[in-house]
Amino acid sequence: MVVCANLLLPYVLVLISSSSPPNGDPTTQRLPTLLTVRVNVPPLQSVGTDGNKGKTFAWADKADVTSSMEVIKYYAGWADKITGQTLETTEKKMIYTRHEPLGVVGQIIPWNFPLLMLTWKVGPALATGNAIVLKPSEFTPLTAIRMCGLIQEAGFPPGVVNVITGYGNTVGAAISSHMKIEKVAFTGSTLVGRKIMEAAAKSNLKDVTLELGGKSPNIIYDDADMEQAVNWAAFGIFWNHGQACCAGSRIFVQEGIYDEFLKRFTEKSRAIRVGDPFETGIDQGPQVSQQQYDRIMEYIDSGKKEGATVHLGGDRHGTEGYFINPTIFTETKPDMKIVKEEIFGPVGVVIKFKDEDDVIRQANETVYGLASAVFTQNINRALDTAHRLHAGTAWINCVNQLHGNVPFGGCKQSGIGRELGEYALAHYSHIKAVHINLGHQM
């Protein structure tokens, strides 16, 4: 670690740690208390929903807040463990490597998980000793602002974590093209990811990591546990109103169980409760904005026009607000927009397949490669399928399982690099090799 990292180390270590602070610095005792206490009172969960986002209060509490704590704890543990190597060459030389912070890094996060995405970004950046300029989505700025308050109250040095609110074409563009920002990390659409790469290339060739869109396949083999497959499939596509980059939006079901699965899946989907996200028992709130609502409805209309069958839903819920009923399409074709493109809403397609080779071909027939899932009780088939799928993550008999110590990211047009785990740390430092001459003479 270098000087910058050493200065930040006491603060990072106690970001959520309950142990005594390094060097007895009293300011470092405050943030763990603030986060562990305030995370368990309604205001922080409310900010986790970010008011205008529509996320249900229950899920903000159960998933976003809890997982965010896990991520920061994980990276706090890494802060004093990032070391270089001593390398042997000859007896007349000593060589060692050191991990140096990049300096100022830019981070741009989306609106679908405003608290969780913030922790995914700042955790590894702080653990490696960088300063941060972060832009939250213009739809959900409150979470980042509230977290800034907690970071400041805990005593972090001024200027370490900086949040700038605004639009992508102004603030996001400025971060991507700034000559003194050495890296930009972005989570969002593939379209915007291209613009960020272009801006980075045209400016100072800053390092870029991208976690982008997906059209994830969820494969249900005929020997799967039917009840579990149905439950997980519904969770895979309708969790967070379908507004998840890893949503299992293409559900492939083997022909022998297709009819029974579709029947049970329909019953499960029909039981999803849509309504006020702050009400107890509600599973799905409104979509984030008029723009997103219109976009999803356009995809639904496209599916109807192209000849797909609306098996369930396909319309708005109620008479006002951005509510959309859980929607299932069947009888689709591979070239339909609802099969090919990321919808980012509560819309899934159920597709029949014949055998393993057939489903692998269909599943990989996409420009995306973020996540995938396989349901079967045959472990050999499960592993074989997982290995053949072109995706950064393969879940077996589960979906949407994310952990702070496990890398997450995609291949193809789903992104570059990895979030989470030890792998994310490599994106926030550069390696310097130091050669020491102990005997070579010229």
Active site residues: 211, 245
Q: Compute the distance between CA of residue 63 and CA of residue 66 in angstroms, rounded to an integer.
A: 5
Q: Compute the distance between CA of residue 320 and CA of residue 216 in angstroms, rounded to an integer.
A: 31
How far is Cα of residue 211 from the mean position of the Cα atoms in its chain? 7
Burial group, residue 169, by CB count within 10 angstroms (0-12, 13-18, 19+): exposed
Burial group, residue 225, by CB count within 10 angstroms (0-12, 13-18, 19+): middle
Q: Compute the distance between CA of residue 319 and CA of residue 138 in angstroms, rounded to an integer.
A: 26
**H or E stretch at 47:** helix 42-49
DSSP 8-state assignment for residue 282: -
Output the DSSP codes for 164-217: --S-IIIIIHHHHH-TT--EEEEES-HHHHHHHHHHHHHTT--EEEEE-----E
Q: Compute the distance between CA of residue 98 and CA of residue 93 in angstroms, rounded to an integer.
A: 17
The letter for the amino acid at 141 is P
CA 388, 390, 394, 396 dihedral sign is: negative
Task: Determine how β-strand 327-330 pairs with β-strand 347-353.
Answer: parallel
Task: Decide if 312 contacts 268 (C-beta within 8 A).
Answer: no
Q: Compute the distance between CA of residue 238 and CA of residue 118 in angstroms, rounded to an integer.
A: 23
